Chain A
Amino acid sequence: MRYGGEGRTRLLLIILIVTALFLITLDLRGVAVLDGARQGTQTVLSPFQKAGNFILTPVKNFVSDVTHLGRTRNQIEKLRADNAKLKADLLNRKNADAQLKQLKSVLDLAGTAGYKVVNTRVISQGSSQSFSQTVTIDSGSNAGIKKNMTVLSQSGIAGVVKDVYPTTALVMLATDPSFKIGVRIAGTQQIGILSGRGSRSGSLQLLDNLTTVKVGDVLLARGSVANRPFVPGVPVGYVTAVDNSAGEIAQSGTVRYYTNFGGLGVLAVVVAASSTNPGDALVPPKPVPTPIPTVTVYVTPSPSPTK
């Protein structure tokens, strides 16, 4: 309140606010100049993001290890037993191995369904300042990626291509609050809509009041017209809770995504779907419980000595 608020400052403020409103109006009307400006910025930024990703990967691995210290205690204990050289080698190879594993799983998934994919690496996480969940990948329109293409992780759906630049693309993750996908319960034709909630859980709303869903049901992408934005058959997640409220027209529930969005390293963009619907072929196998060995001891009483 101490500043006098001179006429010049107020005029400047009004001009700046009007300019901002003008920009918003232009963008909402779809003026191409603003898209071009964003694309240009991204083209300039992408080499720096790639360099940053390359340089900071060991730091990220270290932070990740510290974060998961409790969960990986046994592994750390085992590593401690190794000698210093082996540990150094392991640290250097860890990132490459993890990405290779993710890549193999993604290719397995895409190969089973007959999708033609472009494999990419995640080079930047989106800022949470905008309350959105996005990542930047290191391939763009030069690699054949277009807007509204399905993006796969090693376990299933990861998101959809939101914006494309020549050498990078912005992927809206399935956890983004504005993400919506038509899903089908595996083994049936029951359909619903799954929405992101900002976390690894999504909200499922079934469309038919005769449809029933139960905990453990697997959800697959239902597919879109011309396979964009979603190709059919991609595993999405499984139902963890069902809401059976009496007032609901159709059942709703909570779904846990197969994809671990905290550890995305390699993604695949589906540039062409197979000519046939893969159906339920991509449903992940249920984990087989490890049998616990039991030992039965038969005790036969020895005849008591008689005198």
Chain B
Amino acid sequence: MLTRQISLSAPIFLFIFLVQEAVVNQFKLPGGGFSLFVIFALVWAVISTPEIAALTGFGAGILMDMSQSAGGPVGQWTLIMIIICYGVSYLSYGDGNINGNPVGVVFFVVIANLSTGLLFLASSALLGVTTGGFGQILLTLLGNSLWTLALTPIVLPAFSFLHNFVFETRSVL
């Protein structure tokens, strides 16, 4: 069962990562743009068990660390994504009002995306990675959150469908 889930999840994650690197990163969008891959990983985590969410965070974080536009050392994004993915799943798992409700999922993904940025800033300060001025950081955080808020409802049905396909659950958001 687990082998099937991993063998199906891995190509999906690799494909979304490829789309992020080859397509989304081509555009210089206002407000810093968005990360489709982060949104995907967070949606996946919100509607999964904490155990799967932690593994999702690990896999997604490793891929993000392998991206050449990752600012910090290898492992920084891995650590952040493990914590955030596990955290959102821990808080939402089993609560039908959150992970059974599209509005709840979108809300959690936006909050988690913002938390990802804040955790990146905090860990960057510890690791000595320069992150820029206050105004620029604020603009990027705000821009990313707004993009995530706008985009998540659009991509949620597709991501939810993929999740249900892999885990063979019945409810589709």
Contact indicator per residue, chain A 173-208, by CB within 8 Å of chain B (1) or not (0):
000111000000000000000000111000000000
What are the residues of chain B within 8 A of A38 when measuring CB–CB?
65-66, 68, 74
Going nearest first, the 9 A-B pairs with the smallest beta carbon separation are: A23-B75, A130-B71, A198-B136, A177-B132, A178-B130, A24-B75, A128-B32, A52-B22, A2-B94
The answer to whether A281 has its CB under 8 Å from any CB of chain B is no
B2 to chain A, nearest CB (A): 12
A177 and B136 contact, CB distance less than 8 A = yes
Asked whether any CB of chain B lies closer than 8 Å to the CB of A300, the reply is: no
Are A28 and B26 in contact, CB atoms less than 8 angstroms apart? Answer: no
Question: Does A37 touch B at the CB level, under 8 Å?
Answer: yes
User: In the complex, what's the smallest C-beta–C-beta distance from A48 to chain B, in angstroms?
Assistant: 4
Task: Report how far A49 CA is from B27 CA in the complex, Å.
Answer: 12
Q: Which residues of B contact A48 (CB under 8 A)?
A: 18, 21-22
Candidate in A12, A20, A129, A136 with the most chain B CB atoms within 10 angstroms: A129
Contact B74 A24 (CB under 8 A): yes
* CB proximity of A187 to chain B, nearest CB, Å: 30
Which interface residue of A22, A53, A131 has the most chain B CB atoms within 10 A? A131
A129 touches B78 (CB 8 A): no
Q: What would be 20 A-B contacts, judged by CB atoms less than 8 Å apart?
A: A20-B58, A22-B75, A26-B75, A27-B73, A27-B75, A38-B65, A48-B18, A52-B22, A53-B26, A56-B23, A56-B26, A125-B26, A127-B69, A129-B116, A130-B120, A131-B71, A131-B136, A136-B68, A198-B132, A262-B28
- B127–A131 contact, CB under 8 A? no
Complex Cα–Cα for A224 and B19 (A): 39
Among the 9-residue stretches B79-87, B102-110, B161-169, the one with 4 or more Cβ atoms under 8 Å from chain A is B79-87
State in angstroms the CA–CA spacing of A19 and B79 once bound together.
8
List, in ascending order, chain B residues with CB within 8 A of A25's CB: 75
Contact A45 B22 (CB under 8 A): yes
Within 8 A of B (CB), among A15-37: 16-17, 19-28, 34, 37
Contact B144 A129 (CB under 8 A): yes
B46: min CB distance to chain A, Å? 12
Across-interface contacts of B143 in A (CB, < 8 A): 128
A45 near B21 with CB under 8 A, answer yes
**Please, which residues of chain A bring their CB within 8 A of the CB of B22?**
45, 48-49, 51-52, 124
Q: Which of A107-127 contact B (CB under 8 A)?
A: 124-127
- Distance between Cα atoms of A52 and B19 in the complex (Å): 9
Q: Is the CB of A131 within 8 A of B132?
A: yes
B76 to chain A, nearest CB (A): 6
A9 lies within 8 A of B50 (CB): yes
CB-defined contacts of B86 to chain A, threshold 8 Å: 13
Chain B residue contacts of A130, Cβ below 8 A: 69-72, 120
**Inter-chain contacts of B130 with A (CB < 8 A):** 176-178
- B50 and A60: CB pair below 8 A? no
CB-contact partner of A23 in B32, B74, B117, B135, under 8 A:
B74
Residue from B93, B95, B140 within 8 A of A128 (CB atoms): B140
Question: B49 → chain A, closest Cβ, in Å?
Answer: 7
In Å, the complex CA distance between A53 and B86 comes to 35
Q: Is B112 interfacial (CB 8 A cutoff)?
A: no
Question: With A and B bound together, what is the CA distance between A136 and B132 in angstroms?
Answer: 20
Asked if B91 is at the interface (CB within 8 A of a chain A CB), the reply is: yes
Say yes or no for A154: interface residue by CB 8 A criterion: no
B131-169 vs A, Cβ < 8 Å mask (1 yes, 0 no): 111011100100110000000000000000000000000
Instruction: Give every chain A residue within 8 A of B66 (Cβ-Cβ).
Output: 37-38, 41
Q: Is A5 an interface residue (CB 8 A)?
A: yes
Residues of A close to B135: CB separation below 8 A:
198
Q: Are B67 and A127 in contact (CB under 8 A)?
A: yes
User: Would A197 and B132 be within 8 Å (CB), given that A13-B54, A126-B25 are in contact?
Assistant: yes
A298 interface residue per 8 A CB criterion: no
- Whether A197 and B133, one on each chain, are in contact in the complex, defined by CB atoms closer than 8 angstroms, is yes
